[in-house]
Amino acid sequence: MGSNKPQHCVINYAAAIAALVLCSDVSYADQGGSSFWFPGQFASLAAVQQTPGWALSVIDYHSGVAAAGSAAVAKQIQASRIPANVNVSLNLGLSGRTDLVALAPSYTFEATVLGGQLVVGMSGQYGRAAASLAGTLTAMAGPIVVTRTGTVEGSLVSYGDLAPFAEVFWNDGVHNYMAYVTGNVPVGDYDPTRIPNIGLGHGAIDIGGAYTYFNPAAGNEISGVVGLTYNFKNPDTQYQSGINFHFDWGASHYLTKQLFVGLAGYAYQQIADDSGQNPILGGFRSRVFGLGPQIGYSFPIGDMQGSLSLRGYGEFGAANRPSGWNTWLTFTISPSAPAAVAPRKHLVVR
């Protein structure tokens, strides 16, 4: 009986991992490559002040991603609680698609706060997420080797988390500045045994700032937004993603007073290790870059101001994170102003 125990343990661990490969989540915070901050949610005119009053942004977001290696298997290793003395080899591939519609109402105060303009709001989303995971797992302990192969597909149509935000804007001629704080309220549809999820499963807080150079006379604009995300521990998995750094930017030129074209991009880098992961994953720090075109147009809607913008990104340089492409189509309605410009867009999606 004693001589059979190691083999039984290895088979049990392999069976548990294989079951997770066939039925577990492929997108758990940064351990699966997703994050609270979705790169690309800020671009041009990020720090330009708004007209006081209520505004509403409606964002149509689409993405397609793929990954292999640790980005596809991290959650399976963590959730199965594989002990460090069991050597595990995973050859898995992940693909996913997300189609979301987000609503982001906001209110801009007329009175100054800290010498600037205060904006508060809330973002939430509803939509469809789909994912597939396929590959082979091998578990080894001494001379015992167990291999499992599996494939799984899943989709979900449901609601996501809520993301309240507050921003303060300052203006000095063509120079514009903004400071913000936002966070994740984990009330979205989330199940630790399902692929995929729209809710993230844990809280987060993100702080940062922005600068915009905007010269209406010349029609030139450039913006940059930098921030840091602190992720709280996932209570279902006891996994905590490390601190993330992100930089979103946009540059545009106005062809007319209403129409602009330009480029947008982002850089995303995790700067602190995850905790709760299996030792074979190491710090599991994620990274990705994105670049693509953008176009925007503003127009009157009765006594309100409307704007429509579209930008798309192709991703590259990814590590420990799925990558591919994503697009953002945003319609915003806000109070009119004598020299109205397209407002910033807010979206936090999973």
Taking Cα atoms as reference points, which of 349, 309, 346, 344 lies closest to residue 65?
349
pLDDT for 215-237, tens place per residue?
A: 999 999 999 999 999 999 999 87
- pLDDT at position 275: 83
- pLDDT at position 15: 32
CATH number of this structure's domain 36-65+99-127+155-335: 2.40.160.40
Look up the pTM and report it.
0.83
Q: How far apart are CA 272 and CA 30, in angstroms?
A: 11
Which segments within 40-115 are labelled E, that is strand?
A: 53-68, 87-113
- pLDDT at position 142: 65
Taking Cα atoms as reference points, which of 336, 329, 348, 5 lies closest to residue 163?
348
In this predicted structure, which of 19-33, 43-57, 204-218, 292-306 has the lowest mean pLDDT?
19-33
pLDDT for 288-301, tens place per residue?
A: 999 999 999 999 99
Higher pLDDT, 276 or 18: 276
- pLDDT at position 204: 96
State the pLDDT confidence band at 140, using cuts at 50, 70 and 90: low
pLDDT for 67-124, tens place per residue?
A: 766 654 554 454 344 554 555 566 667 788 999 999 999 999 999 999 999 999 999 9
Higher pLDDT, 274 or 3: 274
User: How many Cα atoms are found within 13 Å in the side-chain-facing hemisphere of 138?
Assistant: 7
The predicted model gives 2-17 an average pLDDT of 36
Q: How far apart are CA 323 and CA 34, in angstroms?
A: 10
For the chain, give the number of residues. 350
Question: Please, what is the average pLDDT of the chain?
Answer: 82
pLDDT for 237-258, tens place per residue?
A: 788 899 999 999 999 999 999 9
Task: Output DSSP code: residue 48.
Answer: -
The predicted model gives 49-75 an average pLDDT of 82
- pLDDT at position 320: 85
CA angle 72, 78, 81 (to 5 degrees): 140
Higher pLDDT, 94 or 213: 213
Q: How far apart are CA 280 and CA 301, in angstroms?
A: 57
Higher pLDDT, 59 or 132: 59
Higher pLDDT, 18 or 313: 313
DSSP helix/strand/coil, 157: strand
- pLDDT at position 350: 45
Which structure tokens are listed for 19?
């079951």
CB atoms within 10 A of CB 192: 16
- pLDDT at position 229: 97
Task: Give yes or no for residue 43 having a pLDDT over 60.
Answer: yes
Q: Which residues of 272-300 are buried (b: 16+ CB within 10 A; e: fewer)?
A: bebeebbebbeebbbbbbbebebebbbee
Please state the separation of Cα 285 from the chain's center in Å: 15
In this structure, which amino acid lies at residue 22?
L
Kindly list the domain boundaries of the chain, sorted by start residue.
36-65+99-127+155-335
Higher pLDDT, 154 or 270: 270
